[in-house]
Structures are given as structure tokens and as C-alpha cells.
């Protein structure tokens, strides 16, 4: 069983990985008992919040990170919203592109948001993380 720190590291690595690296990382984490997924995101932050949360939920269910339980869905949605709120002031009103990394082991589920924020030709970066603890159900 992995602790929250190990699960967070996995989510971060998935969020900052390229699409090519992603599959290898997911396989590597699976051997360590960590389930993982990643999904591309982008757009205007305020208008994209529901879509970001939806993509996190779909990816989590599709890959088996969570089951179709209200508590599991709420945990992923809450962790995603936490991560978004951490970058909100930096990206408010601007366009962004990036990736969500999602990881789970046992009771720990972590969502990491890694984005590039565009302002003309001056891009900024932001990374944020949200964690929830949920019952382990097999």
C-alpha cells in the first residue's frame, strides 16, 4: 500500500509527462500498486471548469481508478476543484493548455493540474494538486 506522498508523486509525473511517456508511467505505477490516468485540458479557465471536472471523472472511471459510487465521484471532483482553485488567480480570464494527472492507491486519490497560461507570447506555468481519501473498495 502506498502513502499519499507516493500517490501524489505519481499524479505529478503523469501531469508533466508527454503522451509518449504516459503509457510507460502508467505501467510502472501499476507494478507499484498505483492506478493512473492523464487527460489533456485547455481553454478559458472559468468556462472550462465543468469540462475539466468532467474529464477527470470520465478518465478516472474509464481506467478503474474509481468505481461508479457517489463518494468516489465526489472525491475526484473535489480534488480536481481544489487544484483548479489553486491556479485560479493566476489564470483567471486567460487561455491555458495542459494536463491532468490522476492517481490512486488504496484510500488515496490525487489530482494534479499542470498548465501553461497564455498571454500573447508570454506564457506562464502553474501546477496544483488536490487530494482526497476514499474507502478502498474492490
> How large is the average pLDDT for residues 107-115?
98
Task: Name the residue ranges covered by the structural domains of the chain.
Answer: 4-133
Torsion of CA 98, 19, 77, 11, to 10 degrees: -100
Distance CA 44, CA 35 (A): 29
Distance CA 6, CA 119 (A): 34
Predicted TM-score (pTM) of the model is 0.94
Count of other CB atoms within 10 angstroms of residue 135? 10
Which cell numbers hold the place of 17? Answer: 509527462
pLDDT confidence of residue 125? 94
The fold of 4-133 is Hut operon positive regulatory protein HutP (3.40.1510)
> Does 138 have pLDDT greater than 70?
no
| Mean pLDDT for the chain overall | 94
Distance CA 102, CA 37 (A): 5
Amino acid at each position: 500500500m502506498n502513502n499519499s506522498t507516493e500517490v501524489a508523486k505519481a499524479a505529478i509525473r503523469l501531469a508533466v509527462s508527454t503522451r509518449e511517456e504516459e503509457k510507460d508511467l502508467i505501467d510502472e505505477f501499476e507494478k507499484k500498486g498505483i492506478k493512473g490516468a492523464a487527460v489533456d485540458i485547455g481553454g478559458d479557465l472559468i468556462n472550462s471548469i465543468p469540462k475539466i471536472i468532467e474529464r477527470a471523472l470520465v478518465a478516472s472511471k474509464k481506467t478503474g481508478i474509481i468505481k461508479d459510487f457517489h463518494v468516489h465521484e465526489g472525491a475526484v471532483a473535489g480534488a480536481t476543484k481544489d487544484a483548479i482553485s489553486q491556479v485560479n488567480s493566476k489564470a483567471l480570464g486567460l487561455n491555458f493548455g495542459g494536463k491532468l494527472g490522476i492517481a490512486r492507491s488504496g484510500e488515496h486519490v490525487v489530482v494534479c493540474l499542470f498548465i501553461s497560461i497564455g498571454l500573447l507570447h508570454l506564457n506562464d506555468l502553474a501546477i496544483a494538486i488536490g487530494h482526497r481519501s476514499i474507502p478502498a473498495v474492490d
